[in-house]
Every structure is written in C-alpha cells, then in structure tokens.
Structure 1
C-alpha cells in the first residue's frame, strides 16, 4: 500500500458567503470561531487548514427572490392576506400564493404573469412620491381596489428594508374584504350562538346587502330577514350584558 500524502496547503475561504443565509457571525474578529463552525458544517479532516477572512460590511444587491431567507419566505407564505415585495422599478421581487391570486383577480387575466397590476402600482407610486416630503416618517399608504360588487381589496403599501440589500423595497399587503367580512361573520356566529339560518342572514348583512337582496338570495321574505336580524341583535345585546 502506497503512502498517501495529506493535503495541508491552507485554503482561503470567504465564510461570509457560506453562512450568509444560515448562520450569523457575531464575532468576525475571532478566527477560531469561523474555523470551528466551518469544519462542523463541511466535516473537514483535521489535517486541512482553513484561513477565514472577515466578512465585508457592504451589502450586495439582491437581483432575485433567491436572496430572500427561507424563513421569511415561509412566514410570508403562511399569511392569509396577499403579500408582495416590489422594487421601486415596478418589478415583482417576491409574492406569496395569495398575492399572486389576488393580482390575477385585479388584472382580470389581462396582465402578464409576475407583473404588477396598475391599480396596485399607482398606490406604490404615491408612497414613492411622498418619500422626499416625509423622509423621517414611517408612512403607510392605504387604498381600496374594487373589481366588481363582490370582489373588493384593501391595499396597504409601506417601505421594507432587507438586511441583505442596500436598496429599499415596497411591501404590499392585499386584503380580500369579502373574505375578511365572511371570517368576521363566522366568528360572530360562533360567539353569539347563531342558528344556521341566522348565520346565513348575518353573512349577507355584513356584506352590506339590503333586506331585499338578502331575501332574494335566501328565497325568504323581507319580514323573515328582519325577524332573523332582530334575533341576532338580541343575542348580541344579551352577550354584552353578560360580559359587563
């Protein structure tokens, strides 16, 4: 068996790139910490020497959503509301599934995939235009986008600073007002102990339908609608008195 020569030439490695998204180096001046964590990460033989360099302080420019930490992506994806991260050049950097679906509803299929619907971008422009006037304030621009009678979105836009980028982004949240109203009505139905029919009436009432429209949708008379609403209000009042 021939003797194997161990490779002992020092390797110069930029550890800030290796750990940029998985490990935060709190003590950049301590070389031993780098060596310890890097050996653990790659299972290097003890005969290999590692020379670590201090990470650069400058922040790179993120040119794709691949630079977004996985944890942040998972959190955004778990939101009930639509979430968009947009550049100031009107480019979509990242969006959760709800956000993409809502953008498609707003554009009604007329805009290309991954493009920003104009109604949303107009709200973003309002925030961009106000940056110089209110540079010292954390502004949130809010607006409503009504697609049709049953599809209505509340849009909120604010500035977002990502640690890995030197440029700011626009954080856009999209709330489906119809869905929010339904969720609120369902919560009320549980809290007040509403019957199945009362729940149906309350859902439509919370959606701002008139007595006549509720009656038409549920195939009941207007007087029956009023009767159910009277019962609902009585249960609300009873619960409030009990809590007080």
Structure 2
C-alpha cells in the first residue's frame, strides 16, 4: 500500500523521507522553493500557472527515483551512510511499477501540447536520472560536488524552460539559492570549514550582494529571487524576533 501511494504521487517520496523531521517550517520552505519562484515567473510573463504544477510533477516524478536509489545504496552499504527507517522494508520494484506509468503519462501529455521548449524540458528532466545515479555511486564528497551542482541546476532549469524559452534567464534569480545550498553541502561534508552557524551569519550578505547585482540586470529577477531569500532567511528573522521579544 505504501509503495502504491508513493508511486502514484510525484513528490511523495520527498515528503515521506523527511516525515520524522517534517514541520510547518519545512512545509513553508518547500512552498517557497518549489512553487513560489515559478509561480511568480509565470505571473510576470503571463503564462498559464498550470505549467507550474506540471513542472513540479515532471521533475519530482523523476527525482523521487534518485532519492530512493540513494536510500537503497545507503541500506546496502550502511557504513557512514544515512539509513532512513521508512525504507527499511520498502519494495522498490513495486514502487517503480506504479511510478513509471505516471511518469510516461506526464511526458506524453506535455509532449502532446507541442512546442520545442516543452520537449527540451522533458529531455533535460530525463537527464536527471543518469546524473543522480552517478551522484549516488560516487564515494568521494569532493567528486560529488560536480553532480550536486548539476542536479540542483537541472531541477531548476527544466522547470523554467517548461514555462517558456523567454523565461530561461530567470535561472539567474536562483543563483544565490544554489550558492547557499552548495556552501551547506560543503560544510556538511566537511570539505570546507563552514558550519550552520557560520553559514547563517553570512546568508543575508550573500543574498544582498546577488540581489543588488540582479537589480541592475532586471528588477523582475529580484522579484523571482525573493521566495528563495525568504526561505533561507526565515530562521534568521525568527531568531531576531525572539531576541527582540525577550
């Protein structure tokens, strides 16, 4: 039953992986990262907002396979790996049987709408699979830097292209978000000496620098970057409010 529900709902694996630690803050963060930027881009460019939802379903229909492959590898290797109890007795084959038709249906429906940008978005999304496999197979955190950047970039690029070829330059609005994510990864893997406290202390500076630069390119890039900024800065604002109210 678990495999059926997760299989027919793209993105469900993402939620289920983090269910023991899920909170209102994480839900808000998910909305800010995965929906709000694309919704703003669609509104700015007068694009049907249904493509925002299609983009999420398209990307996470594929991305969930990468998450599960990562957990499967962790279960097999165990040593130094993060093993999630939710998948200790998970039937990966059953999940694939339910999910693959969903993915093909989404691909077919979007392809039927026509347009080179839609086909390009589908092709880019499909490229996520081999990169995720390579990422999960690599043992060196330093080697994984390459695939980490590619995966996080493809996830954004494919969804923006789906909104239209003229929207591609909105990728720049996600740059500060990608930089923060990369620094967090480098710190978590102890590749560089950046812990969460240090990263939090420089997050606003990184964003203000990028947002100022984007303002000179196109103010709408700043608008599209605001949800990313709010997601990364929400804990900073929360801590500031706590201090002020003490």
TM tier, smaller? under 0.3
Q: Which has the higher strand share?
A: 1
Q: Which has the higher helix share?
A: 2
Structure-1-length-normalised TM-score: 0.23
Structure-2-length-normalised TM-score: 0.23
Greater RCO, CA 8 A, separation 6+: 2
Structure of larger gyration radius:
1
